[in-house]
Chains A and B, each alone.
Chain A
Amino acid sequence: MRILKNLSIAAMGFMVFLFGLDLFLQAAEIQTPLETTIDPEIGPAFIKGKNVTRFNEGFFIGEVNDMGYFGEERPYSLEPGQRRILLLGDSFVMGATVFARDHFASLLETRMAKEGPSEVQVLNFGRADFNLSNMYQYYEDFASRWDHDLVLYFVGYSDLVPSRQVEQDLYPACVVENDSLYIDYSFRNSARFHQYQLLAPIVSNSALVRMGFNAKKMVMRGELTEMMLGKFSGAILESKSHPDTEKSWPTTELPLLTRKILEKLAGDPRVVVVVKGELPPEMIQEVKAFGFPVWDLYSVLEEMNRQGVDPFYWEVTGKRGHWNHAAHVKIAEFLDQGLQNLHFLDP
């Protein structure tokens, strides 16, 4: 009985302290809770008004606006004299490594404000872990609600040839059936989604739970040995690793789903594809054959690297990862040039 009583007191102390710790982690923004949720209408969604702070290779303090995306809140419709560009892409485009004011979307707006008579708005719909099919679905169900003149899809190899499938019982998924493309929303009725909805209030309001998810991700990435053994992990990891100096592509052909999505996009004159990562030449030709403008951002970043500025290197953390500040400046300059070539600002 006494043991039971002591255990209960210890458990209570444990829980109460963790609760207080969670509050501190959130207030000091050491770890903000998950800012994402699964919305029955649009699938993967940001939680409106959520504060977000990230310490990855870079540093980010920002918030999801009340419309559900990062950046300045803009109404759906456009006023006369306004132009609007939508950005779709993965975590690189989402850019939660730099403050919104240093993001290329904001830098591009500033550049264009100096150039043309129209006010140009650049809305960032980038999302971590998105590939082309996610982007397409997100555009169809969410981003297209905003009037726009141009949509830039930022793609690399893993966006066009995704290594994993969308979990259809949890998210909407693009499907090709009988040679036609459609979005499957069967997740709305799945048991897993209902389970998620039950747990969502805890998951999206706890900093510690998010830290737990991050730790799990780390373990899944196989970083546990290095973390535990420090310097001594070198020998173990070295013996396991295989030198991979030659660039090899699992395939140089576009998968059926990707082709179908590109076919669909080709029908929209507002679409521009921005190649942000290295692609096999055959694949670039295949993408270009769809007829929309294809802008080669990858070459520009490569050139930057050749000139001694690594667009992926973060000095403070000493890590390589997403685009750094210098890269964002370069990308804004590159996009500005592309828009000028398209005569985007011409009346």
Chain B
Amino acid sequence: MFFNSFVFFMFLGLVLPVYFLLRNQRSKALWLLAASYFFYGYWDWRFCSLLLLSTVVDFIIGKKVFQSEDPVTRKRLLWVSMAVNLGILGFFKYFNFFIGSVEAVSASLGLQVDSLHLNIILPVGISFYTFQTMSYTIDIYRRRLEPTDSLIDFALFVAFFPQLVAGPIERARNLLPQIAKLGNPGRAQVGSGLALMANGFFRKVLIGDTAGRIVDQVFSDPERYYSPELLAALVLFSIQIYADFSGYSHIARGLARLLGVDLMRNFEQPYLSANITEFWRRWHISLSSWLRDYLYITLGGNRLGNGRTYVNLMLTMLLGGLWHGANWTFVVWGGLHGIYLAVHKLYLGDRKIPDHFTYAGPVSLVRYLVAMGLTNLLVLLTWLFFRARDFGQAGYFLDRFIHWEGSDLTTRWTSITVAFLVVILALDIIEYRTGRHDYLASTVNRPLAWGIGMAVACGVFLYMATSTPLPFVYFQF
């Protein structure tokens, strides 16, 4: 069930009133759990069994890890949890990819291998909830978290529908205590939730989906398009993926607030970053912090010398790339970001960088704008590998950028792209200036905020009614 579908609003129209009417935490949690499984099973009810398996395994292992004092037993139990979670993920997401890669290598060595490809359907959001459950067990193993005694609460932590299929990847220490105290939201929380949803739906539906329609057309058949059109499509993809994913995260956070739950921030205006390190502090924060805490630090982080730090950084980014999808293009995407980060780290040395731009005269502004432009150019290049079907297609784009050939529609494509850019930047600047994603709720003039909110709803519903909804880009991951 997509957030950007009318059937989701029907679902919400049933879930919310019942939730508000239920009196105690247990019945609220049970109701939300049932709703979450229904939400997930709407795609394919068979997917629910994987969710259940992952839940039961980590619930039991989490308790046993906590109870055990023997380091060897604890470690073994952790490995069992990892094996089950990564086994599910590996089989459903990467089996065909690895078989395909082995076949390709064998063929290049002149060896004949029978095809072992299986017809596997990738369950939506599998990468998100496996990472979330894994973090629970790892945190218990690291003695940073105590396991919950309630299977219902834990199952809801894994399956909580607002963030189940595309994050934010929540930590148990943030979400579980809130689930344990589920109650009705306050007035401010409702206002904030609705404002987040308005922001999210505007981004997802009116920017992400609309840019995505053009992107999908161009990337499906790039040979039909000229250089400026290909470049416009790439820029539009960078807008689409950001609007789509940040929109989803805002909606997820807004929905959670309507249920009285606060989820972590996932995006902080990444395209306003002045360098790549800052970009990664602001892009898909829940994943980058997960990779930092559970992969980079586990590998040794920066504690094992300079050389090892760079190796760890590259490994983290390469695996982060592979997490996104079973394709070598994602590995290259991660690899490019790894190189950027390593070069920037080398350049910085021990210097610390600020998280935000601080205005200190016109020269500082110009320097910031140039740095931001360059950072976005570097990021844009990586998006090509992220979106391209294969290296051949990415190469075709690059070739057309080098051997530039104009089109009689260049002006049109440029104005379309600029219009999208202006609006997404305007939204980001408002968020940046107010420091809030629910800025509409912070408007002093309440009636004005309601008027704007209603207009957003009208625009979004009108578009949804007249177009086929595009799935969230990150659903496939």
Q: List residues of A whose CB falls within 8 A of some B CB.
A: 5-7, 9-15, 17-18, 21, 24-25, 27-31, 51, 55, 59, 61, 99, 102, 208, 211-212, 214-215, 218, 227-232, 315-317, 319, 325
Known: A25-B206, A27-B415, A230-B1. 12 other contacts (CB 8 A): A14-B452, A24-B419, A25-B459, A28-B419, A28-B420, A29-B412, A61-B409, A211-B463, A214-B466, A215-B465, A315-B220, A316-B220
Q: Please, how many angstroms separate the alpha-carbon atoms of A17 and B447 in the complex?
A: 13
- A230 and B462: CB pair below 8 A? no
Interface: B450 (CB within 8 A): yes
- Alpha-carbon gap, A163 to B463, bound state (A): 30
Residues of B within 8 A of A29 (CB): 412, 416, 419
Tell me, in angstroms, the Cα distance from A61 to B415 when the chains sit together: 12
B451 sits at the interface (CB 8 A): yes
B462 to nearest A CB, angstroms?
A: 5
In this assembly, does B445 line the interface, its C-beta being within 8 Å of a C-beta of chain A?
Answer: yes
Q: Assess A7 versus B447: contact at CB under 8 Å? Given A228-B7, A228-B10.
A: yes
State which of A9, A25, A208, A232 has its C-beta within 8 Å of the C-beta of B451.
A9
Binary contact readout B427-466 vs A (1 if CB under 8 angstroms, 0 otherwise): 0000000000000000001111111101110110011011
With A and B bound together, what is the CA distance between A5 and B448 in angstroms? 11
Interface string of B3-16 (1 = CB under 8 A from A): 00111001000000
Distance in angstroms between the alpha carbons of A296 and B24 in the assembled complex? 72
Number of chain B residues whose Cβ lies closer than 8 Å to a Cβ of chain A: 43
Determine if B174 is an interface residue (Cβ-Cβ < 8 Å).
no
Residues of A with C-beta under 8 A to B10: 228-229
Given the interface pairs A29-B412, A51-B412, A228-B6, the reply to whether A59 lies near B213 with Cβ below 8 Å is: yes
B459 near A208: Cβ-Cβ < 8 Å: yes
Q: How far is the CA of A7 from the CA of B454 in the complex (A)?
A: 12
Task: Identify 24 residue pairs between A and B in the complex whose beta-carbon atoms are under 8 Å apart, listed by A's number.
Answer: A5-B447, A6-B447, A9-B447, A13-B451, A14-B451, A14-B452, A14-B455, A17-B451, A17-B455, A18-B459, A21-B206, A24-B419, A25-B206, A27-B415, A30-B210, A55-B467, A59-B217, A227-B465, A230-B6, A230-B7, A230-B42, A315-B220, A316-B221, A317-B468
Q: Is the CB of B447 within 8 A of A10?
A: yes
B454 touches A10 (CB 8 A): yes
Bound form: Cα–Cα A115–B363 in Å: 62
Q: Does B293 contact A (CB under 8 A)?
A: no
Q: Contact check, A13 vs B448: say whether CB atoms are below 8 A apart.
A: yes
CB neighbours (8 Å) of A7 from chain B are 447
Docked pose: A18 CA to B221 CA in angstroms: 35
Please give the distance in Å from A179's CB to the nearest CB on chain B.
45
Are A18 and B466 neighbours in the complex by a CB distance under 8 Å? no
Is B423 located at the chain interface by the 8 A CB criterion? yes
Q: Which residue of A lies closest to B421 (CB)?
A: A28
Q: Could you mark each residue 389-429 of chain B with 1 if its beta carbon is under 8 Å from any beta carbon of chain A, else 0?
A: 00000000000000000000100110110011001000000
B246 → chain A closest CB, angstroms: 18
A9 touches B448 (CB 8 A): yes
Q: Report which of B7, B224, B445 forms a contact with A9, defined as CB distance below 8 A.
A: B445
B299 within 8 A of A: no
The 10 A-B residue pairs with the shortest CB-CB distance, nearest first, are A13-B451, A230-B7, A10-B451, A27-B419, A17-B455, A28-B419, A14-B451, A6-B447, A9-B447, A59-B217
Asked whether, in the complex, the Cβ of A12 is within 8 Å of the Cβ of B451, the reply is yes
Chain A residues within an 8 Å CB radius of B466: 211, 214-215, 218
| Chain A CB within 10 A, most for which of B409, B451, B452, B458 | B451
Kindly list chain B residues whose C-beta atoms are within 8 Å of the C-beta of A31. Answer: 463
How close is B156's CB to chain A, nearest CB, in angstroms?
Answer: 24
Cβ of B369 within 8 Å of any chain A Cβ, yes or no, is no
Taken together as a complex, chains A and B put the C-alpha atoms of A55 and B6 apart, in Å, by 20
User: Is B224 a contact of A102 with CB atoms below 8 Å?
Assistant: yes
Known contacts A30-B206, A61-B409, A214-B466; decide if A13 and B459 are in contact (CB<8 Å).
no
- Tell me if B462 and A215 are in contact (CB < 8 A): yes
Q: Which residue of A lies closest to B407 (CB)?
A: A101
Q: List chain B residues, Cβ under 8 A from A231.
A: 7, 42
Rounded to whole angstroms, the CA-CA distance of A317 and B469 in the bound complex is 11
Give bound CA distance, A25 to B5, whole Å. Answer: 20
Q: Complex Cα distance A11/B415, Å?
A: 31
Which A residues touch B423, using CB under 8 A? 24, 28
**Residues on the A chain within 8 Å of B124, using CB:** none
**Residues from 197 to 218 in B contacting A, C-beta threshold 8 Å:** 206, 210-211, 213-214, 216-217
A230 contacts which chain B residues (CB < 8 A)? Answer: 1, 5-7, 42
Q: Give bound CA distance, A245 to B120, whole Å.
A: 34
Interface 1/0 per residue, B179-212 and A, CB below 8 Å: 0000000000000000000000000001000110
Residue of chain B at shortest CB distance from A11: B451
- A215, B459: Cα distance in complex, Å: 12
Cβ contact within 8 Å between A18 and B455: yes
Task: Specify the chain B residue showing the minimal Cβ separation from A211.
Answer: B462
- Using known A-B contacts A230-B1, A315-B220, determine if residue A13 contacts B6 with beta carbons closer than 8 Å: no
Across-interface contacts of B459 in A (CB, < 8 A): 18, 21, 25, 208
Contacts of A315 in B (CB 8 A): 220
In this complex, what residue of B is CB-closest to A59? Answer: B217
Q: How far is the CA of A319 from the CA of B210 in the complex (A)?
A: 18
In the complex the two chains form, what is the Cα distance from A13 to B440 in whole Å? Answer: 12
* Residues in B whose Cβ lies below 8 Å from that of A59: 213-214, 217
Contacts of B448 in A (CB 8 A): 9-10, 12-13
**How far does the alpha carbon of A55 sit from the alpha carbon of B463 in the complex, in Å?**
12
Residue from B213, B409, B420, B446 in contact with A55 in the complex, judged by beta carbons closer than 8 Å = B213
Q: How far is the CB of A12 from chain B (nearest CB, A)?
A: 7
Nearest Cβ on chain B to A326's Cβ, whole angstroms: 11
Residues of B within 8 A of A316 (CB): 216-217, 220-221
B220-248 contact mask (Cβ, 8 Å, vs A): 1 or 0: 11001000000000000000000000000
CB-CB < 8 A to B419: which residues of A?
24, 27-29
